[in-house]
Each structure stands twice: as structure tokens, then as C-alpha cells.
């Protein structure tokens, strides 16, 4: 019995030892698996911390370039911008220009590191857990360029956002890279949806923004606005005077306010600034003579007629018309080429521009000749057509690859639709829910219509519901409808672009601010491409500079590690 009990006790001890070893093994392997799991979790946390830091870095870079740089350029004197940009282009030092221009309150935000500009992203915690830190590195891709002497420059860069995420001692690296371009040029009147020196008719009659009024871009007047009911403004509205006029149920009142109780309550999505500085079109660095020089190639052209200045083989200017033009018709031929048909009396000249092959054919009905080059002036900034007189009829289609400015000494009469070949049409009815305005976003066609010493007019011969794509400017005149206060309602003038004029021209009349009694109603669709510097060629600008960039958040390349 004692022997059996001893054997049983020994067997129990063996089993206890075995189970103990198995338990210890299980604990060991469980701990190892737990540690591996924790490492995997830390690795994932570090990766996403780096990824989050990279995305934050993109927005920081956008803030540096599209906020701080643009504000610095916009608020600097014209001479300072010109001198600094010209010197850095001459020395091929785009990085030096960038460091000197990305400024906040006098402090440079970028640091020169070798041949690059850098910005440190300090260690940042995500909650109470992982962190990220890194560096923005900007380098010059090619030498900066002068586009127009003392007026426009272009700087080229690429960037790398190098971010490291850390969690529980585990590190992960991510790099985002891309390119961007900065254009510096004189700020331009084309960026306004509406600019008027005096917000009245030429005879001093007040013009009211009423319930039927909707604007989608920035507005500026050197006087004061007049509000009736509930007009809607989606862009910033600025005026020089401290007070605005309100209709007040027919009992006009002037208030330093953005509304008049519950009676006149405009909607200002981007604010209503009163007491703003005046903007003087006469101070534009681009003058009428500059447009003439670009059109003529600075050559003397004698006698009435239509000219494409040339040296016998290639063009040296734009399109110049001496005398009045009875009709200017823009078009696109069967081959997709831009055409400009200009009639003076019994003579019709047709200029056909092949933008792909860079050739121009001139045909006046008697002779036809093809020249190298396109009629884009001395500076090659876009097609320029100047009429040393009046255009009695203007209409047609702006070819999809053409940026054009049509400029005259005297009046321009838009007698029919003038539209971009490439555009996205409006959807729905203006002023109703779901309406989507027309747009030219993503397309290259652009038009400026400019009367230096006269008016831009819509004559009585124009059709109902007229469509005008382009930026219209009459710096000392008015853009208006002939006989706007007689006859029957004529529908709507749909404008995709903007209007700049000395006075606010009348288009029609209404008794209640909603329903047209005579003339046209207005439907303005702002061309927001102008905010990125896409403007008609040789268009008048302001005496200040602005910076425009490509979208930094487009076409970003991603890789793990890499630095």
C-alpha cells in the first residue's frame, strides 16, 4: 500500500510539473503574442499619425503660399514688388524670392537650407497618443521668368512634405510631393463681378439692387450701394462711403449698416465692407496707347482698313482696324480654327487663326495670304483686336483655345449673342431653388470687351434673352441697354464674366423690384477663373500687384519612407 501511494504521489508530481511547464509556456507565448500585437498596433498608429501629419502639411503649405505670400504681395507697394521680383528673376533666385515673400507681420516664415526653402512642422500630438513631426522642403524647378517687363513674372517650384509618425517608440515615414507655380502680376479689374465708380445712372438716378438681384463674385464701388428688399451677394461687397441707401418701402434712408430692420435685408455671404479705399481706373498701368502699340506692332498703318501687321513673313502685332467697324463677328470654322470677320462698308476681311500650327491667314476678298504667328501682339499674351473708331455690331463665338480682347476708342454695340465655344450651361431658372449658374471653369476661352473712351451698349436690334460671355469694361462710360425704359420686357441678359464701368448702366425698369416692366433683367454669373489670374490679354489692371498660384493640393504624389 505504501508503495502504491508513493507511486501515485510521484505520478501526481510529474503531472503537476508537466502542467506547470505547459502553463508557463502558454503564459510565455501569450506574452510574446501580446507584445507582437502591441507592436503592430503601434506601427499602425505611427503610420496614420504620419499620414495625418502629411495632410496637415499640405494645408500648411497652402496657407504659406496662398495666404501669407498672396497677402504680402497684395499689401506691398508696386515699386517694392517690381524691384524685388525683377532682381530675383535676373539672379535666377526663385528660392530667395519665395523666402522674402512668405511673410507674416514682417517675419519670414521659411528658412533657407542649402538651395531649398524649408518650414519645420513641430511635434504634434494626436490626442494623448501618437505624434507627428516633419519638414516642408521647397526647391526651384527651373529659373523664374519675366512674362511682361516690370509687370508680370512666373516662379516654378516643387515641394516635398516629409513627415514622421511616432507611437510607443515605433516610427513610420511618409512623403508627399508635388509642384506649384506662382504668377505675380498687376492686379486686374477683370476679377470684379461688378465695379462701378459711381453706383448711379449717368444722370445721377440711383440704381437699386432689388429682390431679383443675385451676384456671385466680388463687387466694388467708389460711392455707395442702394438696396431694396432682399438681394443676394455671394462674393465680398465693398464700397467707399460709410453709409448705404435702403429703399425703406419708398421712404429712402441712409444707414451705416448692412440692413434696414426687417424691411431691406440683403444677404452678404462674404461680408459688406464700408469705408473701403477707392479704386481709380485711370491709374491702371495699361493705357490705351499700350493696346494700340500691341495691335500695330508699333508700326505706322495708313488709311482706313483692317490690318494684321507683319514683316512680310510673320506677324509682328495683333489685329488693327483704322476707322469704324460696321460688324465684328467672331467664329469657328469647319476645321475648328478661330475666325475674325470684320466689315467696313463693302469690304469684309476675314482673319483665320490656326492656334495649333501658329499661323494666321488674312483674306480681304481680293487677296489671301498666310503668315507665321498669331495676332497676339508684341508681348504674345493673347489675341488683341483694336478698332480706332466704333464697333456698330459685335457678336459670335470665342474659339476654345483663344484668349481675346476686343478694344475700341469709341462705342461697342453688342447686337447678338457672344459666347464661349467651351462652357458649361446654366441649369434651372435664376432665383429658384436648384439653379446652377453657367461657368467656364476648366476651359481656356476668354474674352475682354473694352471701350476706352465710349460706352458698351446693347441696341434695340439685339434679341430677347441675350447671352454675353466675357469681361465688359467702359472705364469712363457705361454698359447699358438702348431705350431700356420703353417697349415691352425683353427677357434677360445673361452675363458670364463681369462688368467694370464708370456708371451703373440701366437695363430695364420695374415697379416692384421683381417683375420687369421694360427692357431686360440681369443674370450675372461670375467667372471665378479671374481670381486665379486667368484674365483677358492686355486688360487694364490696378496699380497694385497680386499673386496667383496653381492648386497645391492637385496631383500630389505619395510614398512611404523615401527620406
| Beta partners for residue 347, in sequence order | 344
**Closest by Cα among 193, 164, 190 to 176:** 164
User: Going by DSSP bridges, is the β-strand pair 131-140/152-167 parallel, antiparallel, or unpaired?
Assistant: antiparallel
Cβ atoms of residues 390 and 452 within 8 Å: no
Predicted local distance difference test score (pLDDT) of residue 494: 92
Cβ atoms of residues 301 and 322 within 8 Å: yes
C-alpha to C-alpha distances, 387 to 65, 259, 396, nearest whole angstrom: 40, 45, 17
Helices (H), 145-271: none
Cβ atoms of residues 138 and 102 within 8 Å: no
Predicted local distance difference test score (pLDDT) of residue 128: 72
Count of CA atoms in the C-beta half-sphere (13 A) of 405: 28
Averaged over successive runs of 10 residues, the pLDDT of the chain (563 residues) comes to 51 50 51 66 84 87 90 88 95 96 94 95 83 94 87 91 90 90 87 92 89 83 94 90 95 96 93 90 89 95 94 96 97 97 96 95 94 95 96 98 96 98 88 83 96 97 96 96 94 93 90 81 87 86 79 66 67
Cβ atoms of residues 392 and 413 within 8 Å: yes
**Closest by Cα among 371, 527, 523 to 449:** 527
C-alpha to C-alpha distances, 467 to 5, 26, 207, 424, 434, nearest whole angstrom: 111, 81, 22, 13, 21
For 509, the grid coordinates are: 425698369
Place of cell 462674393: 235
Secondary structure class of 62 (helix, strand, coil): helix
Please enumerate in sequence order all residues whose Cβ is within 8 A of that of 357, keeping only pairs 6 or more positions apart, or say none: none
Please enumerate in sequence order all residues whose Cβ is within 8 A of that of 437, keeping only pairs 6 or more positions apart, or say none: 216, 426, 430, 496, 525, 526
**Closest by Cα among 275, 363, 291 to 539:** 291
Return d(Cα 402, Cα 337) in angstroms, integer: 10
Secondary structure class of 63 (helix, strand, coil): helix
Secondary structure class of 490 (helix, strand, coil): strand
Q: Dmax of the chain from CA atoms?
A: 141
Return d(Cα 87, Cα 101) in angstroms, integer: 13
Cβ atoms of residues 450 and 407 within 8 Å: yes
How wide is the angle at C-alpha 339 spanned by C-alphas 326 and 329, nearest 5°?
25
Domain boundaries, the chain: 37-186+550-560, 287-539
Q: How far apart are the first and last CA of the chain?
A: 78
Place of cell 497677402: 71
Phi, psi of 322, deg, nearest 5: -95, 120
For 217, the grid coordinates are: 463674385
| Beta partners for residue 501, in sequence order | 196, 474
Predicted local distance difference test score (pLDDT) of residue 1: 44
Cβ atoms of residues 239 and 223 within 8 Å: yes
Please enumerate in sequence order all residues whose Cβ is within 8 A of that of 204, keeping only pairs 6 or more positions apart, or say none: none
DSSP state for residue 200 in the 8-state scheme:
B
Burial string for 464-499 (b: 16+ CB within 10 Å, else e) reads eebbbbbbbbbbebbbbbeebeeeebbebbbbbbbb
Amino acid at each position: 500500500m505504501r508503495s502504491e501511494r508513493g507511486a501515485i504521489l510521484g505520478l501526481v508530481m510529474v503531472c503537476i510539473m508537466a502542467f506547470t511547464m505547459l502553463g508557463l509556456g502558454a503564459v510565455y507565448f501569450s506574452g510574446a503574442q501580446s507584445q507582437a500585437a502591441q507592436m503592430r498596433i503601434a506601427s499602425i498608429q505611427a503610420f496614420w499619425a504620419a499620414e495625418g501629419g502629411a495632410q496637415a502639411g499640405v494645408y500648411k503649405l497652402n496657407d504659406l503660399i496662398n495666404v501669407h505670400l498672396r497677402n504680402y504681395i497684395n499689401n506691398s507697394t508696386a515699386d517694392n514688388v517690381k524691384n524685388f521680383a525683377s532682381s530675383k528673376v535676373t539672379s535666377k533666385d526663385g528660392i530667395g524670392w519665395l523666402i522674402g515673400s512668405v511673410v507674416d507681420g514682417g517675419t519670414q516664415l521659411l528658412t533657407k537650407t542649402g538651395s531649398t526653402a524649408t518650414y519645420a512642422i513641430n511635434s504634434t500630438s494626436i490626442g494623448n497618443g501618437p505624434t507627428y513631426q516633419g519638414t516642408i522642403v521647397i526647391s526651384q524647378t527651373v529659373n523664374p521668368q519675366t512674362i511682361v517687363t516690370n509687370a508680370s513674372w512666373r516662379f516654378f517650384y516643387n515641394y516635398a512634405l516629409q513627415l514622421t509618425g511616432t507611437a510607443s517608440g515605433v516610427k513610420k515615414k511618409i512623403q508627399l510631393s508635388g509642384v506649384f507655380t506662382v504668377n505675380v502680376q498687376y492686379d486686374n479689374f477683370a476679377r470684379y463681378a461688378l465695379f462701378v465708380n459711381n453706383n448711379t445712372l449717368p444722370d445721377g438716378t440711383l440704381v437699386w439692387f432689388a429682390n431679383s438681384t443675385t451676384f456671385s463674385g466680388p463687387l466694388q464701388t467708389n460711392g455707395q450701394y442702394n438696396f431694396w428688399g432682399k438681394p443676394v451677394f455671394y462674393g465680398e461687397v465693398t464700397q467707399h462711403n460709410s453709409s448705404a441707401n435702403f429703399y425703406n418701402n419708398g421712404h429712402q434712408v441712409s444707414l451705416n449698416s448692412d440692413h434696414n430692420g426687417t424691411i431691406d435685408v440683403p444677404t452678404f455671404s462674404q461680408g459688406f465692407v464700408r469705408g473701403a479705399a477707392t479704386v481709380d481706373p485711370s491709374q491702371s498701368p495699361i493705357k490705351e496707347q499700350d493696346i494700340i502699340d500691341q495691335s500695330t506692332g508699333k508700326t505706322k498703318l495708313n488709311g482706313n482698313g483692317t490690318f494684321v501687321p507683319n514683316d512680310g513673313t510673320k506677324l509682328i502685332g495683333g489685329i488693327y482696324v483704322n476707322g469704324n467697324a460696321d460688324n465684328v463677328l467672331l467664329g469657328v470654322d469647319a476645321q475648328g480654327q478661330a475666325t475674325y470677320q470684320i466689315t467696313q462698308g463693302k469690304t469684309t476681311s476675314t482673319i483665320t487663326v490656326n492656334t495649333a500650327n501658329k499661323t494666321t491667314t488674312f483674306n480681304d476678298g481680293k487677296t489671301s495670304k498666310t503668315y507665321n504667328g498669331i495676332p497676339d501682339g508684341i508681348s504674345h499674351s493673347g489675341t488683341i483686336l483694336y478698332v480706332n473708331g466704333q464697333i456698330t455690331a459685335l457678336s459670335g463665338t470665342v474659339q476654345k483655345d483663344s484668349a481675346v480682347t476686343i478694344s475700341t476708342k469709341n462705342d461697342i454695340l453688342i447686337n447678338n449673342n457672344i459666347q464661349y465655344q467651351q462652357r458649361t450651361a446654366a441649369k434651372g431658372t435664376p432665383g429658384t431653388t436648384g439653379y446652377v449658374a453657367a461657368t467656364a471653369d476648366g476651359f481656356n476661352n476668354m474674352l475682354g470687351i473694352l471701350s476706352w473712351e465710349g460706352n458698351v451698349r446693347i441696341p434695340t436690334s439685339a434679341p430677347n434673352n441675350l447671352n454675353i460671355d466675357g469681361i465688359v469694361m467702359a472705364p469712363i462710360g457705361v454698359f447699358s441697354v438702348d431705350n431700356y425704359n420703353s417697349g415691352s420686357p425683353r427677357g434677360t441678359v445673361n452675363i458670364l464674366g463681369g462688368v467694370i464701368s464708370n456708371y451703373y448702366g440701366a437695363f430695364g425698369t420695374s415697379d416692384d423690384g421683381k417683375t420687369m416692366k421694360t427692357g431686360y433683367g440681369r443674370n450675372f454669373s461670375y467667372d471665378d477663373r479671374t481670381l486665379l489670374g486667368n484674365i483677358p490679354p492686355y486688360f487694364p489692371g490696378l496699380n497694385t500687384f497680386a499673386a496667383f498660384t496653381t492648386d497645391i493640393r492637385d496631383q500630389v504624389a505619395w510614398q512611404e519612407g523615401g527620406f
